[in-house]
Amino acid sequence: MSTFQFKQFSVQNEKSAMKVNTDSVLLGAWAQNSEDAKIGLDIGSGTGILALMLAQRNPTLEIIGVEIEPKSFEESKFNFNISPWNKRLTAVNLPIQKYEYNSPFDFIITNPPYFENDLKNEDKNKATARHTDSLSFQNLVNFIENNLSQKGNFNLILPLNESEIFREIAKQTSLNLIRIAFVKPNEKKSVNRVMMTFSKTKKELEKETFCVYQSHQVYSQRHHELTKDFYLDKK
């Protein structure tokens, strides 16, 4: 059994098509939510890593993880059940387009599918997890606009080109970009990931750019600051 051990929880990382990775850990650590947020939603929860990180960060937040792929759903449900916050975590096996909740969400997060034109992965589960056939950017934006509370925040991570497409779609809605982080693997490489926070409330845009690594196999100070409460080898 493949298990990823964090400081306060563990993640079974075997059935889900999308494994625990740098993108998810960075997003889970960077994502912003208000202290009075009560209900959160993790779209495409996979192993459940994002929901688990948020549960650790916010002791009052109840989080629902919605996952379309059955094996990933099974794994997220297992990981929720064995966590210290199992009473605040719920796994749901549905496409997000069919999921309905009786009130707006104070916090929404996703590491969404983003490959639109690339060749499909031969692994059907990975293809579902990483291609927008099951969830287009337009569908995602529509869902967020309809289900995010007025004071809520929506956080996601995308590759650079896809982030630009997503921002253009969001401009046509009531969603406002309030935070953005451009992430580079190291100083010698270009930005390859972008983290974003959207809200229905307008605020001055916060921007930052940082590297994952400052040198070979040595994490940057900013990466350390973000993830120190989660990785076992960080104090």
* Residue 232 domain flag: no
Element (H, E) at 83: none
pLDDT tens-place values along the chain, 235 residues long: 588 999 999 999 887 777 788 999 999 999 988 778 999 999 999 999 999 999 999 999 999 999 999 999 999 999 999 999 999 999 999 999 899 999 999 999 999 876 444 434 444 444 443 434 567 999 999 999 999 999 999 999 999 999 999 999 999 999 999 999 999 999 999 999 999 999 999 999 999 999 999 998 899 999 999 999 999 876 5
Residue 172 is assigned to a structural domain of this protein: yes
Q: For residue 197, is it within any domain?
A: yes
pTM given for the model: 0.89
pLDDT in tens, 99-138: 999 999 999 999 987 644 443 444 444 444 343 456 799 9
- Please state the domain count of the chain: 1
User: In degrees rounded to 5, what are phi and psi of residue 160?
Assistant: -55, -55
Domain that residue 12 falls in = 3-227
pLDDT tens-digit profile of 128-164? 434 345 679 999 999 999 999 999 999 999 999 999 9
232 exposed, middle or buried (CB, 10 Å; 0-12, 13-18, 19+)? exposed
**61-97 burial code (b ≥16 CB/10 A, e <16):** bbbbbbbbbeebbbbbbbbbeebebeebbebbbeebe
Check which CATH number belongs to the domain holding 134 and give it.
3.40.50.150
The answer to whether position 177 is within a domain reads: yes
Residue 235 lies in a domain: no
What number of CA atoms fall less than 13 Å from residue 153's CA on the CB side? 19
In this structure, is residue 26 part of a structural domain?
A: yes
Q: Locate the DSSP E strands across the chain.
A: 3-5, 10-12, 39-43, 62-66, 89-92, 105-110, 148-158, 176-184, 193-199, 206-211, 213-215, 218-219
**In-domain check, residue 233:** no
Q: Considering the domain boundaries, does residue 234 fall inside one?
A: no
